[in-house]
Amino acid sequence: MNLFRSEEHATAWETSHPGLQGQLLTLEQALAWVTFIGKDRPNFDYVHPRATGTLGPFLKSIGLTGDWWKPK
């Protein structure tokens, strides 16, 4: 994961690394993802959303639909 200060910075990085592919996340998407993954982590009976089958639909709902985001 790379963090960029602007879309222009991300575009420049992408241009200088033509063999790599990825998807930019907005701050809102990143916060939603981290909150969804970690909101129940302190609980003793925590189960990762991937194991419950809720991760894929959640990622799709916030617009993360590329192959990288498909749960394995």
Sorted by where each begins, the domain ranges of the chain are 24-72
Distance CA(71)–CA(40), nearest Å, equals: 19
Question: What is the pLDDT, as a whole number, of residue 10?
Answer: 86
Question: What is the pLDDT, as a whole number, of residue 44?
Answer: 92
Question: What is the pLDDT, as a whole number, of residue 59?
Answer: 92
**pLDDT lower than 50: segments of the chain:** none
pTM: 0.70
Tens-place pLDDT, residues 23-36: 788 889 999 999 99
Distance CA(17)–CA(11), nearest Å, equals: 10
Instruction: Give how far Cα 64 sits from Cα of 30, 42, 44, 45, Å.
Output: 10, 25, 29, 27
Question: What is the pLDDT, as a whole number, of residue 57?
Answer: 92
Query: What is the four-CA torsion angle of 7, 13, 17, 18, rounded to 10 degrees?
Result: 30
- 32: which 2 tokens? 């939603």
Question: What is the pLDDT, as a whole number, of residue 61?
Answer: 95
